[in-house]
Chains A and B, each alone.
Chain A
Amino acid sequence: MNIIQVENLTRKFKDFLAVDNISFNVGLGEIFAFLGPNGAGKTTTIKMLTTLLKPSSGLMTLHGVDPVARPHQARQLFGIVFQDPSVDEELTAWENMEIHGVFYHLAKDIRRQRTDELLKIVELWDRRKELVKNFSGGMKRRLEIARGLLHHPKILFLDEPTLGLDPQTRNHIWQHIKNLNQTEGITVFFTTHYMEEAERVASQVAIIDHGRIIIQGSPEDLKQKTKTRSLEEAFIQLTGHALRPEEVTNIDRLRQTRRLFRR
């Protein structure tokens, strides 16, 4: 059974075609890696699937629900960890979970029981009363994952969840995600630039470039089709060695400002 179905999805920004007629399916309980170079259309696709952006054309469903026609219902179905941290750093870990629970209309006792359970799973229960601004990058990510799972979503979207983290923390986070995939039966849809992570964790992989999906299958399939030894080699063979032209956006400028303030 497919939990995510995408058919001929397209998104245009004026003259720029960010996502060009893509189609793919994600099976229930799968860990699906959506890979591609910078500016390939990964985040735009996630934004469309998570109701943050409307597609120019095409169809998509999340567990049978159309996120364009029924955004409120679709939002109940997924949890998300964004590329940039989205936890409130002036609040404690517990308060962040509490607010999320209220947003998803969870009853107080269920909210508290689930918060306890998830904070224990991601090993943050002892630090639940601490302000998030005192947490390390990895701890914030773990909290975001726990928060994304609070309302029992069927799908967890992770947009570069391990970006900028050290190998130990990355391993730790993937271990948690794999555990949650097995224990909660949750479908995971993630993007990353770390190919070895995708190869190790994902059961299915799709590679997008210039807004089009160029290949899809299991990591082993992709290696066989490209006659390469690793997913990274397959990725480079399929997407080329050339650097991608990127424009500095307002968001990039804000990111730079944020980094400067945190020094």
Chain B
Amino acid sequence: MKIIYILWLRQLKRYFRSRSRLIGSIGQPLLFLVALGFGFGSVFERAGQGSYIQFLSPGIIAMSILFTAIFSGIEIIWDRQFGFLKETLVAPVSRLNIVFGRTLGGATVAFFQGLIVLIITLLLGFHPALAQIPLAIVFMMLIALLFTAFGTAMGSVLKDMQGFQLIMNSCFQVDCADHCGCGRSFKPLYHSTAV
């Protein structure tokens, strides 16, 4: 338990100490919201589709969680060769504890990032039904955990970053647009955004 806790704490410390990561994590969704929100907002409303910010916000929140969660896998590839992971692999700790600690840490960071974006969208005019917020938070936690676990699993198997990015992009294209229809029921990001 102590091993899992220390690895979780490490991920959190790294996130809060990296100013560029913090600014980047807020900046990108903000750019989407402001640029697309104010750019397409009036067109969207004129077409009778309602408030554009209401439509866009859940997707932006899910996207920010997704990217942070999935790319924690890249950290593993980097860490395996140059960083901290090598040290953990020669330490007398179980591999399962390492995976749990890293996944929980990555998921907490991704969830926190989603929470920041949620607050920004609320400030910019996103008005979800109050009763839906707890459910949305639960789903934010779930997708953060699921995609961090997925990223961690892929990062543990793959050895180069290009391969990782390629596979991840393919996975999310399947989630976003199911051409063959075979995975219609398993589209976690699509369903979470709908909730």
Contacts and interface: CB of A to CB of B under 8 A. Distances in A.
Given A88-B83, A99-B10, A80 B90 contact: yes
B86 A86 contact: yes
Interface in B75-122: 77-78, 81-84, 86-93
A38 interface: no
A144 to B, nearest CB: 9
A103 B17 CA distance: 23
Interface string A72-106: 11011010101011111011000100111011110
A88 B14 contact: yes
B84 A87 contact: yes
A137 B175 CA distance: 44
- A-B pairs, top 10 by smallest CB distance, nearest first, are A103-B91, A75-B92, A90-B14, A250-B160, A102-B6, A72-B92, A88-B84, A84-B82, A86-B86, A86-B87
A131 B160 CA distance: 28
B13 interface: yes
B21 to A, nearest CB: 10
B157 interface: no
Given A88-B10, A90-B14, A103 B3 contact: yes
B90 A50 contact: yes
Contacts, number: 73
B14 A91 contact: yes
Interface string A108-132: 0000000000000000000000010
A62 to B, nearest CB: 12
B84 A95 contact: no
B3 A91 contact: no
Contacts of A104: 91-92
Q: Is chain B's binding surface mostly helix, strand, loop or mixed?
A: helix
Contact of A91 (B13, B82, B89, B93): B13
Contacts of A147: 87
A253 interface: yes
Nearest to B160: A250
11 contacts: A72-B92, A86-B87, A88-B10, A88-B84, A91-B14, A95-B10, A102-B3, A103-B87, A103-B88, A103-B93, A258-B82
Interface of A: 50-52, 72-73, 75-76, 78, 80, 82, 84-88, 90-91, 95, 98-100, 102-105, 131, 147, 250-251, 253-255, 258
A157 to B, nearest CB: 9
Interface string B39-56: 000000000000000000
Given A86-B83, A88-B14, A250 B159 contact: yes
A253 B77 CA distance: 13
A254 B86 contact: no
Nearest to A252: B81
B89 A84 contact: no
Q: Which residue, A51, A86, A250, has most C-beta atoms of chain B within 10 A? A: A86
Given A75-B91, A105-B92, A84 B81 contact: yes
Nearest to A99: B6
B1 to A, nearest CB: 11
B179 interface: no
Contacts of A75: 90-92
B92 A131 contact: no
Q: Which residue, A50, A73, A99, A255, has most C-beta atoms of chain B within 10 A? A: A99
